[in-house]
Structure 1
């Protein structure tokens, strides 16, 4: 049986561990989105636009390529916005005590990470595997 003081101490330790873990996850998600996923999407967008330009030079229609480029461009814009939001909430610690910091993680960091992930998941479906910087879910689940 734990005393009141021991119980409070354990609670504070667990809450601090939660805060530290989510803080690291939030900063890692931001870093990966900025340095891995966004550049991959921009490379693909560049490939699409180059292909459309070459097709146009040859007198070919490039409507499908341009439609895909527009979709990727929209996702790139969304990802930039979501990364900015995540970066903003990552800068805040959420208070002076451990509980308020943990609440900040739960109410701000986790939703912002989920927003980034949502856009990254949609990009993963359209960016070719050779440009995608990490193994795709389908590759991990259904080994080729």
Structure 2
């Protein structure tokens, strides 16, 4: 359980840092160039939240000193820290998915998976 949770959490942090954050940064530049102040403010707030939540997830992915490498203690840590932090990243990313231009969003959107093709 803990190993699977760790893989999911590490992958989520990597996707957020290397794909979603850069895409949102490009989106912010687009909004700034278009003088879309209200949209930029909304996007900037979510961008800042995503950066903070991603850093918190990366921190949670570093096991604290003294924790056993397997067993109940590690499973509880994975559930309470890693998966909880991953959920927070996901919540913000889901909000950003709805507002970032399709040209910049690096992953398939829910609407594409559910209704297109």
Alignment partner of 1:118 is 2:91 = yes
Partner SS, residue 87 of structure 1: helix
List per-residue Cα deviations over 1:61-120 (Å, max 9, x = no partner).
Answer: xxxx11000000000100011011101110115711421111100111111000000000
How many Å separate the matches in 1 of 2:71 and 2:21? 33
- Greater helix fraction, Structure 1 or Structure 2: 1
1:1-144 paired onto structure 2 within 5 Å: 18-52=1-35, 65-92=36-63, 95-96=67-68, 97-144=70-117
How many Å separate the matches in 2 of 1:95 and 1:25? 19
TM-score by length of 2: 0.94
Partner SS, residue 102 of structure 2: coil
Q: How far off is 1:130 after superposition?
A: 1.1
The structure number with the bigger radius of gyration is 1
Q: How far off is 1:22 after superposition?
A: 0.5
Query: Which structure would you say has the larger RCO, counting Cα contacts within 8 Å and 6 or more residues apart?
Result: 2
Question: Which residue does the alignment assign to 1:8?
Answer: none
Q: How many residues align?
A: 115
Q: How far off is 1:41 after superposition?
A: 0.5
Structure 1 residue runs of 5 or longer lacking an equivalent are 1-17, 53-64
Deviant stretches of 4+, over 4 Å: none
How many Å separate the matches in 2 of 1:25 and 1:130? 26
Structure 2 residue runs of 5 or longer lacking an equivalent are none
